[in-house]
Structure 1
Amino acid sequence: MKKRWITAKEINQFCYCPEQWRLAKLHRQGLVEADEQKLKTQKRLFQKGKRYHRKKAVLVWVKTKGTDWAVAVLLVVILLFVIWTVMNA
């Protein structure tokens, strides 16, 4: 089996989308062929991929920024509770 170096382009492809990297690798090895039927569905698959990446971006935002917002809201609620408790004491 011939050893092959992994290029910077492949690393970039993998970091962006592991599925894209996998399919490109299969295509280079001749295990996946681009026939006319597949080319006709390319636009549909491209749109599906865009939707997938958009959803993933939202999930990443929720996991990072969403947590920050939740902590901020919790701190405001605690602060309001403390103020209310002091005012009614």
Structure 2
Amino acid sequence: MLRWPIAILLLANILAFVAVRGVFGPAPTAGGREPNHLNRQVHPDWLKVQPITATEAADQPVVGGPAPSAPVAASTLPQ
């Protein structure tokens, strides 16, 4: 009963192994497929990195710092 599903899974694993080993050609992420990609960029030297100001960084969390308190007003509920 389980003979055919096991055989199909075994064949699928063998096929995946063979494909990863490169029998069907190089993987698409192997590189070298778009040599003109960098040449087609429009003005890459115009890109500038700027630090953020204190007002822009106000809502940024501090890594390793205490968790900010939520601006929620709490009151006791009437009973």
Sort the TM-score into its range (normalised by shorter chain).
0.3 to 0.5
- Bigger CA radius of gyration: 2
Give the structure-2-normalised TM-score: 0.38
Q: What's the TM-score once normalised by structure 1's chain length? A: 0.35
* Higher helix proportion: 1
